[in-house]
Chain A
Amino acid sequence: MIPVSLHRFVVPLFCTIILGCQSTPSTHGKRATVQQGYQPALDTDEAGLWLVMDQAEQDLKTSGKLVTDVHANEYLREIVCRLANDICGDVRVYLVRIPYFNASMAPNGVMQVWSGLLLRTENEAQLAYILGHEIAHYRYQHSLQMFRQAKNTANVLAPFQIVTAAGGIGYVGSLAQIGALGTLMKFSRDHEREADDGGFEMIVAAGYNPHEAARVWEGLLQEKDALDEDAPSIFLSTHPSSSDRVDTLKQRAIAATTPETGWYTGMERYNEVIDPLRFKLMRDELRLRQYPATQILLDRAASAGVRISEIRYFQAELYNARAEEGDLSKAEAAYRDCIKSPDAPPEAYRELATIYMKSGRGKQAVPLFETYLVKKPDAFDQSMIKAYIQRIGSGEN
């Protein structure tokens, strides 16, 4: 499905490919770049590396860790192809169900995007920046460079193995089991700078709003500050940055020439694709019990075009999960606010009704339960809800 705003991309792409014009100057000289359809020669060490990486890809596919939502996967592939251009077919992107912000690129073109990332990028431009950054790692063969450097060491795959210093995260162990190579490797600062540049160029060439690039990092840093010192930020530790990263990106955004049709931010399209996933993703997020960080996520969601009813619903869910003193009444208030919107999630009605039912306000609960059933005809708990309605009706509550 082609987005309506595709025409915004055609002009800048035309510009870049045919006329060779670039909106931003390259800050480095000649970079090694990978060719379309690149495969290492069979008898090289690198071929062995790819073999291993290909097997890791197979393991990932059958690991049970993937998010299989068709729209979300297609959306990611579409953005990747738009950015990667000629090497579009060589990059495979997988959406992995892990509730942390992370994206990675393996030497053989396998990109992973973790589900926690989709809760934190606010629009298509921000998502595109991260994807572009990872594609740049592949295009400029950073992994290959790391491999060649490590070739004479005892463990050539050491750079690609799980960074166990990132321990303290339960998922590290299970990632190690499936040999998810290249997931938590650490690129050098030079690589990072190059990937920032490359990613930036890609999004500008594709017409995405470059001001969004700096905002991704800002959001990550803000969330990191809200957490304990011990809790690592996976993405930040695997993508080390210089202190001027945010400023550099901001400067470059200002210097970039705005196309006639304006920049594309893609907030609506982004929310349209991510909305159906949000429930699952927020459940995973709340399960982490990192409420201060989740609160920041919710606060930022408000300015990111997420529907106010959804934000209120997840706010209520946060209070419910946290269950500190006073949280129950806060949850009740948040659900009540939520259902003021006509597009409130059906679950909000059920949750508020449950609170009423448990606190002796059964009469108020019934119409809310009924609304839930009408709005969600395929609800997994519909039999139970009908039973509640009956119980209240027969005076048990």
Chain B
Amino acid sequence: MKNIWVGLLLLLSGCATTFYTLVEPGQVVICDRYSVKPGIQWSEIQKGDVRLWTVDGVELESIRFISGISEGVPIMDITKEKHETPFRPDMSETELVDAIVDAFSLSGSQQVEARNLQPARFGSAEGFRFELDFMDADGLNKKGVVVGTIMDEALYLIIYTGTRIHYFPKYAREFEDIVSSIELKRIP
């Protein structure tokens, strides 16, 4: 009950409140393992192990930082009822691709295809990346890039998705810069 009044107060108190926090360009600590350096402002929502960045709105484009998924935990935690593949530290990269493609499909994306899986740096650690083509539930074309690594038996992912038309291309360069700027805090 108390929370309703808090909410009301917050909202009435000037309409300047937002549920997002503003992320300024510069060093940003994502989790206890790494930081990145965005070059532009982003708006962020955080929930548990997931941090969601967007500029225009999460359905148009978003960068999702998923950190420290440990054994047995569903990777994208779409919904508890859907049978998502739980993470296992011994998963190969191809198995991770399968699990992520599955998670996208289970959450309503259509015709999800993965392309171009390759090894990639995650800061100074060895990781992987791949691309996604899919459609949302209404049939709107979307694209994605997934970058990830397993460190100390836990999974770290950065997932960039956006509409094929305009929004994905708009921040693709910035996303690559963010990935290049990954700095690990402890060498694995």
Contact = CB atoms under 8 A, between A and B. Distances in A.
Tell whether any CB of A sits under 8 Å from a CB of B in the complex.
yes
Interface of A: 62-65, 97, 174, 177-178, 287, 289, 350, 354, 357-358, 380-381, 383-384, 387-388
Nearest to A350: B94
B145 to A, nearest CB: 14
A97 to B, nearest CB: 7
Contact of B92 (A65, A178, A287, A354): A354
Contacts of B105: 287
Contacts, number: 53
A174 B92 contact: no
Task: Determine chain B's interface SS by DSSP, over half rule.
Answer: mixed
Contacts of A65: 110, 139
Contact of B138 (A177, A350, A358, A388): A177
Which 7 pairs, one residue from A and one from B, show the smallest C-beta to C-beta distance?
A: A64-B139, A383-B118, A64-B135, A381-B117, A387-B119, A63-B139, A384-B117
A350 B117 CA distance: 14
Interface residues of B, number: 27
B139 A383 contact: no
B92 A358 contact: yes
Given A380-B130, A383-B116, 11 more contacts: A64-B111, A64-B135, A65-B110, A178-B139, A350-B94, A354-B95, A381-B117, A381-B130, A383-B118, A383-B119, A384-B94
Q: Which of B108, B114, B138 lies at the interface centre, i.e. has the most chain A CB atoms within 10 A of its CB?
A: B138
Contact of A380 (B95, B114, B137, B140): B114
B115 interface: yes
B100 to A, nearest CB: 13
B139 A384 contact: no
A357 B90 CA distance: 10
Contacts of B114: 380
Nearest to A379: B117
Kindly name the residue among A174, A287, A358 whose own CB sees the greatest number of chain B CB atoms within 10 A.
Answer: A287
Interface string B112-153: 001111110000000010100001011111000000000000
A55 B116 CA distance: 37
B102 interface: yes
25 contacts: A64-B110, A64-B135, A64-B141, A65-B139, A97-B110, A287-B102, A287-B105, A289-B83, A350-B94, A354-B92, A354-B95, A358-B92, A380-B114, A380-B115, A380-B117, A380-B130, A381-B97, A381-B118, A383-B118, A383-B119, A384-B118, A384-B119, A384-B128, A387-B119, A388-B92
A96 B78 CA distance: 25
A67 B178 CA distance: 36
Nearest to B86: A323
B138 to A, nearest CB: 7
Interface string B88-104: 00101111010000100
Contacts of A358: 90, 92
Contacts of B140: 64
A387 B126 CA distance: 11
B106 interface: yes
A198 to B, nearest CB: 34
B78 to A, nearest CB: 12
A234 B20 CA distance: 44
Contacts of A97: 110-111
Which of A65, A350, A384, A387: most chain B Cβ within 10 A? A384
Contacts of A384: 93-94, 117-119, 128
Contacts of A354: 92, 94-95
Contacts of B95: 354
Q: Which of B83, B117, B128 has the most CB of A within 10 A?
A: B117
B119 to A, nearest CB: 4
Contacts of A350: 94
Contacts of A178: 139
Nearest to A357: B92
A384 B131 CA distance: 13
B117 A287 contact: no
Most chain B CB within a 10 A radius of its CB, from A62, A178, A381: A381
Contacts of B110: 64-65, 97
Nearest to A385: B94
Contacts of A174: 108, 137
A46 B106 CA distance: 38
Nearest to A174: B137
Contacts of B138: 64, 177
Contacts of B90: 358
